[in-house]
Amino acid sequence: MKKLVILFFVLFSTLARADEGMWLPLLIDRLNHVDMQKEGLRLTAEEIYSINHSSLKDAIIQFGNGCTGEIISSQGLVLTNHHCGYGAIQSHSTIEHDYLADGFWAMNLKEELPNEGLTARFLVRIEDVTQRVLAVLSDEMNETVRNEKISEIAKTIQDEATKGNGYQARVASFFNGNEFYLFVYEVFRDVRLVGAPPSSIGKFGADTDNWMWPRHTGDFAIFRVYTGPDGKPADFSKDNVPMKPKHHLPVSLDGVQKGDFAMIMGYPGSTDRYLTSYGVNLAIEVSNPTIVKIRQKKLEIMRKDMDANREVAIKYASKYAGISNYWKYYIGQTRGLKRLKVYDDKKAIEAEFAAWVNTDAARRSKYGSVLPDIEAAYNTMGDYTLQRWYYIESIARGGEIMSLAQSFTGLSNELKAEKPDEARITRLKSNLAKSVERHFKNYNQPTDLKLLSAMLQMYYENVPVEQQPASFRAIVAKNKGNFDKLAQSIFAKSMFASQEKINAFLNKPSAKVLAKDPAFSLINSFMEKFRENQKNLEQPSENLARANRLFVAGLREMQPDRKFYPDANSTMRLTYGKVLDYYPADAVHYNFITTLKGVMEKEDPDNWEFVVPEKLKELYHNKDFGPYAMESGEMPVAFLSTTDITGGNSGSPVLNGKGELIGLAFDGNWEAMSGDIAFEPELQRTISVDIRYVLFIIDKYAGAKNLIEEMTIVPKRAKVKEGVASENAPVEVESVN
């Protein structure tokens, strides 16, 4: 166990480490700007975040629903990760046009491909509305009433912020419900695919290298935001035009050196840094192993069918990648939590908190029950954790026939209503018809049949009997425990196994027909039992929410001089640190940068994860790197920084002190997979693809010089000795325009 003096220095230092923290851009001037300047920042706080002038925030987008992207040209060109654009790339791929395998490059605007449902979300402004929200709350309220009041005032604030302007708004909770901020967005709905390398570059290393260093993945893809002729958000139309952004990022050819300042702006999804030891224990012992076990089975089934048939491989590529990513994440997180003794660290924090509470009567009155309440809540929640994860992973996200059937629940409810709303039924039918078409476009029934059989069996064998639907147990008994037979029976009798039958049903929908469908009735029985089980957790969950809120409030009161940062919650954040190597284990050292040489060293023509395209090998052997090579003549691929990120930051720009693009964040490192719960400063690193490798692939590999010419590229600056000349002195390089 770490010595307490080290623990308290790391976790309770009055000055937060420069590389730990996901900071709100609104508060950079007050909390971080001086520290950032000392580390190497050359921008003002206003140049990072401003609502009156163009700033870095105006070039950062939430790409789709779960990644980050950045604007890199005056014509709305977007750079993000290949794995973020993977679904869009897959949706356009066929056996005849296999963009996953071969890549895709639009050489002009007319060749760019539209993507239904893909959005680019720009932040307009942030506003602290904490006092306005707290004014309608009181300590006497239980959490249910409190949440209702928060929802009411949040809706009022959001409505005011969006009245007459077409914006979207969200009031988000911070510090477990102790602070509240309003985020106003402008959302653009026409985002087109412009370029993507083949998966042999964009996913090089695939599952084997995922979350690992050293890394050699060219994880990038290019899109473009379009607007209506008036510059406003618009649905796809041939009349739309490339966006004219408020700001776009210049691209630097300087590269990175050890110790360089680096910062990231993006949309980190979720962290739980204030999680208690009870939550850590539940994750280690139950939640994580359960998720890993179920996903492992799904991946085995899918991989076998994908390897046997290229058409199936294309259809399931995006699904497989989504399951695989966090399958490995939870393996790594469990390993990290154990190896770094995070449970022990959390216990030490709680002991310090309890000692602080017990030294004052007022504190005992306010915070005295916090830790006992948290412990009691987790004890009850532990009894239902298995059923929760087996329902989510093996039923709701198991066989796709089940999730498709579940999507008809809203239509069923409307059809059964005392006075059905015909207009709503028409809308539901239209939306379902579209989702059915999308479902069968990327679908292979033999694969889904195997998935359904395996997932039902895992649920049956692992969830406590009393927490399972009695009707499901009866069906299993009727089939004498033969899950293959059970699955085949469902597929043989359910309309959800056939696109034609579903469409025929939608032409003449009937609540009775739906109720009798074996897939629909089965998923309904699971949902009803899940809701029944969850009712037993309503009071413990309410107690836990209140206790967690007070725990975080108490920690902040206990450390009044510490700079606290809130957990990630899919709102824009800034993190900063340095380009830096690390030592993952005794006698092991990892450099901060990788090169194209490593790609060639990893090549394995017999392993799809490590196939190297012939053209890339030719460029490497000819050393044809253009102006993108390092001073040593080598071609950089990826680099490390101490910046603090998590899921959702994928595709985020890595910027130097001048706000110039030097890379794209795409991963964390294996040794610090517990980072969402506990930041480990000596080990935690962000893995980013070097922007020089991105430009090299676009220019030399793809020949898409039209894209290079569109960017604002800052040429290499002269390398000068300390105290000599200006760091901004230019040096001639091969033209990239």
Supply the CATH number for residue 667's domain: 2.40.10.120
Q: Do 405 and 491 sit in the same domain of this protein?
A: yes
Main-chain phi, psi angles of 217, to 5 degrees = -100, 125
Choosing from 535, 554, 577, the residue where a domain stops is: 535
Classified as helix, coil or strand, 360 is coil
Q: Say whether pLDDT at 12 is over 90.
A: no
Residue 153 lies in a domain: no
What total number of domains does the chain contain?
A: 2
| The model's pTM | 0.91
Query: Is 353 part of any domain?
Result: no
345 found inside a domain: no
Q: Which amino acid is at 458?
A: M
The reply to whether 599 falls in a domain is yes
As a whole number, mean pLDDT of residues 613-628 equals 98
- Checking if the pLDDT of 15 tops 90, the result is no
pLDDT band at 7 (very low <50, low <70, confident <90, very high): very low
620 inside domain: yes
Query: In sequence order, what are the residues at sequence separation of 6 or more whose Cβ sits closer than 8 angstroms to the Cβ of residue 250?
Result: 659, 660, 661, 712, 713, 714
Residues 6+ apart with CB under 8 A from 719: 631
Which pair of tokens denotes residue 490? 């469902």
Show which of 535, 557, 589 is a domain's final residue: 535
Q: pLDDT tens across 288-298, in order? A: 999 999 999 99
pLDDT band at 719 (very low <50, low <70, confident <90, very high): low
Q: Is 650 a catalytic residue?
A: yes
Contact 645, 668 (CB under 8 A): yes
The residue from 50, 73, 82, 83 that is catalytic is: 83
Judgement on whether residues 589 and 736 belong to the same structural domain of the protein: yes
pLDDT value for 716: 87
Q: Which of 115, 199, 280, 179 has the alpha carbon at shortest distance from 565?
A: 179
Q: Where are the beta strands (DSSP E) in 529-645?
A: 573-578, 582-585, 588-590, 593-595, 636-641
Shared domain for 515 and 572, answered yes or no, is no
CA atoms within 13 A on the CB side of 552: 20
- Does 653 lie in the same domain as 600? yes
Q: What is the mean pLDDT of residues 253-274?
A: 97
Looking at residue 248, its pLDDT comes to: 98
Q: Which pLDDT does position 717 carry in this prediction?
A: 79
Catalytic residue among 93, 650, 674, 688: 650
**Does 104 have pLDDT greater than 60?**
yes
Domain range for residue 263? 1-119+189-272+567-737
Residue 455 pLDDT greater than 50, yes or no: yes
- Give the residue carrying structure tokens 């002195």: 729
113 and 240 assigned to the same domain? yes
Of the residues 490, 513, 535, which one is the last residue of a structural domain? 535
% the chain with pLDDT above 70: 95
- Residue-averaged pLDDT of the chain: 93
- The question of whether 83 is a catalytic residue gets the answer yes
Q: What confidence tens digit (pLDDT) does each residue in 500-552 have? A: 999 999 999 999 999 999 999 999 999 999 999 999 999 999 999 999 999 99
Distance from the Cα of residue 485 to its chain's centroid: 38
Answer with the residue of higher pLDDT: 347 or 731. Answer: 347
* Residue 236 exposed, middle or buried by CB count within 10 Å (0-12, 13-18, 19+): middle
Is pLDDT above 70 for 351?
A: yes
Alpha carbons 436 and 414: distance in angstroms, whole number: 19
Catalytic residue among 209, 219, 676, 690: 219
pLDDT digits (tens, 9 = 90+) for 550-607: 999 999 999 999 999 999 999 999 999 999 999 999 999 999 999 999 999 999 999 9
pLDDT at 180 over 70: yes
| Residues 50-86 pLDDT 10s | 999 999 999 999 999 899 999 999 999 999 999 999 9
Residues 573 and 531 in one domain: no
Of the pLDDT bands very low, low, confident and very high (cuts 50, 70, 90), residue 408 is very high
Asked if residue 596 belongs to a domain, the reply is yes
pLDDT of residue 8: 37
156 lies in some domain: no
The phi, psi pair for 233, rounded to 5°, reads -60, 140
